Amino acid sequence: MKKSPSNDLIIVLESLRNRREFLKLFAKGFGYSALASALPACGGGGGGGGNPGQSVQTAVIPQASSEYTALKRTSYGVHRDALSAIQNMGIDAYLEEQLDYTQIDDGNLEGTIQTLFPLTRQSPAQLIGGFPDNIATIAQQMTGATQYRQIFSRRQLYEVMVEFWSDHFNIHLLNGLGPTLKPEDDRQVIRTHALGNFRDLLHASAKSPAMLFYLDNFFNLASAPNENYARELMELHTLGVDGGYTETDVKEVARCFTGWSIRFPGDMSGNYGTFVFVPAVHDNNAKVVLQNTISAGGGQSDGEQVLDILATHPSTARFIATKLCRRFINDTPDQASIDAVSAAFTQSGGDIKTTLRALFATDAFRTSADQKFCRPAEYLAGLVRALAPDTPYPTDNGVLFFFAQSIMGQLPHYWPTPDGYPDKQGYWASTGGLLNRWRLSFLSFATVIPPISVFQIDYTTLLGGANTLAKIVDALTSSILMRPLSAADRSHILDWLVDEYGQAENVGLPAGTPELIAPLVAAVLVSSAYFQLR
Amino acid sequence: MAITSPMKTPASTTLPADRDILVCIFQRGAADGLNALVPWGDVDYYNQRSTIAVPAPGSAGGAIDVDGFFGLHPALAPLKPIYDAGDLALVHATGIPHGSRSHFAAQGLVERGVDDKSGPDTGWLGRHLALSTPASNSAFRIVSISGNVPVSLMGASEPLAISNLGEFGFDQDIIDSGYPAVLTSLYRSPVPFYAPARSALAAMDELQAASISAITPDNGAVYPNNDLGNKLMQAGQLIKSSLPVEVICLDSDGWDHHESLPAYIQQSLTELADAVNAFYTDMGTQMQRITVLVHTEFGRRVAQNASIGTDHGTGGLAYLLGGGVNGGQIVSNWPGLATPNLEMGEDLKITTDLRTVLSELLTKRLGGTDTSQVFPGFAGPTAANVFLS
């Protein structure tokens, strides 16, 4: 774990204070009254009393289609076009296409990233030149690039795995020199190997200057080893806390990694932020790691041998398989799924695509649905993908979304401790977590509220000509939720609209009115459990 | 028809006379106890920490002497008057002997109040709260000032998770639109997440009625403008409001000082002491009915490492504040810092099980909840004379 970044974070947030005021405007829900006055013949008053005798349906949330569920689990929210594609080609072919991600045409997405978020492409040596004045900009651009890809990339499964490994090998961006180091780690470690081989990923991470700095290994000396990296390497990156290592193993592994360091600012070679092995501070005596002898005099290879021991250890296969099943299936995956995925991991020598194929073939993945509460990143990207499938990129270069994800507590690379953002719904489905999503659901008003019109919602298309309250609910259920409402919930929403607008459900509304009503209906739909389950 | 609006809950403003309001601060990351409450009278302290030790009282940057053996880190000076007033007790060489040096495993074990994984998977506070009769049906009985609910509260009925009281709610025009009411219908039992959803909707109503933002610090208290200061200020607002809050949990982050410990702990202890002092001042006489508990997952290694820091250890330090605390004392049963006296030859031994302190807290200050049900399998002792009854 690492010290608190709170002071650095404050710097970032302070530098954007004006924007924060602007966010508050939308976060509490804005300007609804202006809208209401534009509506015809508001019923007013409503009539209290409630309806306590109403029966509750037993089928609480009707299951979505299997194609919807497969998409929801492997993407950042169901996009209309992706749903058509998976319906046409079938789930297997779709997932196979997603695994072969380099063959998916992503248009000029990376060119756009280069233009909008150039600092994410820079090396530590380039970034240190503007440090620390560039901290806030780096933070915004790292978030912006991540969100941009999650929303717009057609390589959705790849982006899901990028996030998965970013959490697994978590590095806090705002941690000392971290802002200058993490962008390269993101490119060279995480994005390079996200659908590659686990052993390669592990070796790349171990030599990543961002990781060496974050977990203090840069200062791991033979004279007094620093155990931080050694412990988290086994607990979090490979074996898992119950993976069978001892406190002695922690000390021995720490000794193996003595001398693994980085070149610091002002390095004479001009290679700031690159990996360096310093033989003078390496412990060259023999070590024993998990009953394997590491011979004396191995130098840098000591650590490399440890990584290979760990990468091929059965506990690692089990640990990675469990985490993948937890990500793609549910919080407490069944043993049969874990065993199947673990076996594929071992037999393929840690090939991540082969491992995922095994996971996608499990009964649990194929037959269950609605087992998890999507995390904030999925919620936010999912809002755009559902409400505005054809929108161009936000005109504010992502500033609004930076704050939106900040409020929800899942800014990319901002989790301070090395275990990464939690992947259990008990953490996210809290009172505060739900409230924040409800507030953000009012992004559905982006068409009519100038300060947040950063992406374009086309309600005319989403409504498809619906001109009564009943048709509005049905059309938006189909175009935004893309899964059926229960009869009870359809009634709840419709009764509320009838009450709120003083119009019977099947009465034709004046032209233009459905588009004014739609944002509030959309806010309710994306606030519901329907939209947040996967 | 109309949609029923979220339930208004009648709020009781007082707890039963035998129950304090509990404010629980978890120091995440394994806070070092040895440089906070400094055993300057133990020569081995200086042998083990040759360049990071806090100097003895009287030297430059030296500890503030407390009893001729222990002294407070200078950054903890704001706590000294509270100690002298008898409202602060310090328990050194404490913790739960769980044997884990993993932050994540150890935090889970300590929050569950167990010493191995086979214990109950609910939190110790959650079990206490499930066993004790609610003094109200307010959504504000149990509050985590955070975006999430900590493990310690697992098992309690729907704790609130609120990171910022001022932003918890909707503007009036949204409320008037019927949006919260329709959500109340959509999140009916047993729809997934109905419990936190209903709790959030009820809390919004209660919070609006309580006008919380109008409650400002009293008695000249000035909260530091940092994370912990902001959280404790909100805890103070909740306690002074009409909301019948009973347990508040919050985190103090950033205690994992593997490197440059002297500089980082100075910063962390300053934040802690300033924030706690402000809270104590703000609460004034209400401290008679408040207990504050500050603790961590484990202490840090006795000897320093090469990075001018310390690695993970065992025994740590707990702070207890309040009118019901038998304060002005240090409970330590000091095990000594010579290598033969250390746990595994490296760590400060635990001489007072934290559950001993928590058991006494339950018995004397939290209504007498059955400690054998809160800490099943714990052999005791169940009191350490840290609280007044």
Mean pLDDT of A235-245: 97
More confident residue, A55 or B134: B134
% of chain A at pLDDT higher than 70: 88
Interface of B with A in 236-295 (CB under 8 A): 253-259, 264, 268
Question: Tell me, what's the pLDDT at B148?
Answer: 84
pLDDT of B365 higher than 70: yes
pLDDT of A30 higher than 90: no
Interface of A with B in 168-187 (CB under 8 A): none
Of B103, B161, B179, Cβ closest to residue A432: B161
Q: Any alpha helices (H) in A30-123, and if so which ranges?
A: 32-38, 66-74, 80-89, 91-99, 109-116
Q: What does DSSP assign to residue A189?
A: I
In degrees and rounded to multiples of 5, residue A245 shows phi and psi of -100, 160
Whose structure tokens read 């509460």?
A: A373
Q: What does DSSP assign to residue A374?
A: P
- pLDDT band for A44, please (50, 70, 90 cuts): very low
CA nearest to B181, candidates A426, A268, A497 = A497
ipTM: 0.87
Tokens representing A85 are 């594609």
pLDDT digits (tens, 9 = 90+) for A274-285: 999 999 999 999
Tokens representing B323 are 């009118």
Mean pLDDT of B312-339: 97
Report the C-alpha gap between A316 and A309 in whole angstroms: 10
pLDDT digits (tens, 9 = 90+) for B257-301: 999 999 999 999 999 999 999 999 999 999 999 999 999 999 999
Q: How many CA atoms lie within 13 A of A335 on its CB side?
A: 0
Contact residues on chain A for B189, CB-CB shorter than 8 A: 56
* Cβ atoms of residues A258 and A283 within 8 Å: yes
**Residue A532 near chain B (CB below 8 Å):** yes
Residue B113: left if φ>0, alpha if ψ -120 to 50, beta else—which one? Answer: left
Interface test with A, best of B153, B157, B171 (most A CBs within 10 A): B171
Helix (H) / strand (E) containing A170: none
Mean pLDDT of A416-442: 90
Helices A314-328/A156-168 angle, 10° precision: 130
Residue type, A213: F
Whose structure tokens read 């009916």?
A: B188
**Residue A487 near chain B (CB below 8 Å):** no
Closest approach of A349 to chain B, Cα-based (Å): 28
Mean pLDDT of A57-68: 82
In degrees and rounded to multiples of 5, residue A282 shows phi and psi of -85, 140
Question: Tell me, what's the pLDDT at B142?
Answer: 96
What is the maximum alpha-carbon separation in chain B? 78
pLDDT digits (tens, 9 = 90+) for A72-81: 999 999 999 9
3-state secondary structure B157-195: CCCEECCCHHHCCCCHHHHHCCHHHHHHHHCCCCCCCHH
* Cβ atoms of residues B45 and B301 within 8 Å: no
Report the C-alpha gap between B369 and A482 in whole angstroms: 50
Question: Tell me, what's the pLDDT at A468?
Answer: 97
Delimit the domains of chain B by residue range: 21-73+95-319+336-349
pLDDT of A56 higher than 60: no
Tokens representing A194 are 């996200």
Question: Tell me, what's the pLDDT at A425?
Answer: 87
* Cβ atoms of residues B251 and B150 within 8 Å: yes
Mean pLDDT of A294-318: 98
Helix (H) / strand (E) containing B291: strand B290-296
Report the C-alpha gap between A372 and A378 in whole angstroms: 12
Question: Tell me, what's the pLDDT at A59?
Answer: 56
% of chain B at pLDDT higher than 90: 84
- pLDDT band for A36, please (50, 70, 90 cuts): very low
- pLDDT band for A514, please (50, 70, 90 cuts): very high
Of A52, A223, A489, Cβ closest to residue B186: A489
Q: How many CA atoms lie within 13 A of A414 on its CB side?
A: 24
Least confident of A109-113, A361-365, B324-328: A109-113
Contact residues on chain B for A31, CB-CB shorter than 8 A: 173
- pLDDT band for B123, please (50, 70, 90 cuts): very high
Cα B222 to the chain's mean position, in Å? 20
Interface of A with B in 16-35 (CB under 8 A): 24, 27-33
Question: Tell me, what's the pLDDT at A395?
Answer: 73
Of B100, B147, B264, Cβ closest to residue A432: B147
- Nearest-Å Rg of the Cα atoms of chain B is 22
Q: What are the DSSP E strand ranges found in A321-452? A: none
pLDDT of B161 higher than 60: yes
Cα A208 to the chain's mean position, in Å? 22
Question: Tell me, what's the pLDDT at B121?
Answer: 85
Report the C-alpha gap between B150 and A47 in whole angstroms: 41
- pLDDT band for B6, please (50, 70, 90 cuts): very low
One-character DSSP codes across A447-471: GT-GGGTTS---HHHHHTT--SHHH
Report the C-alpha gap between B53 and B31 in whole angstroms: 15
Report the C-alpha gap between A243 and A236 in whole angstroms: 10
pLDDT of A6 higher than 80: no
pLDDT of A57 higher than 60: no
Least confident of A327-331, A479-483, A501-505: A501-505
pLDDT of B31 higher than 90: yes
* Cβ atoms of residues B226 and B275 within 8 Å: yes
Report the C-alpha gap between B356 and B381 in whole angstroms: 6
Question: Tell me, what's the pLDDT at B154?
Answer: 92
Question: Tell me, what's the pLDDT at A126?
Answer: 96
**Residue A13 near chain B (CB below 8 Å):** no
Mean pLDDT of B79-96: 98
Report the C-alpha gap between A482 and B148 in whole angstroms: 30
Q: Do B174 and A492 touch (CB under 8 A)?
A: no
Chain B CA closest to residue A406 = B147
Q: How many CB atoms lie within 10 A of CB A189?
A: 26
pLDDT digits (tens, 9 = 90+) for B163-214: 889 888 888 888 888 999 999 999 999 999 999 999 999 999 899 889 998 9
- pLDDT band for A450, please (50, 70, 90 cuts): low
Average pLDDT, rounded, for chain A: 89
Least confident of A118-127, A210-219, B117-126, B338-347: B117-126
Question: Tell me, what's the pLDDT at A451?
Answer: 65
- pLDDT band for A397, please (50, 70, 90 cuts): confident
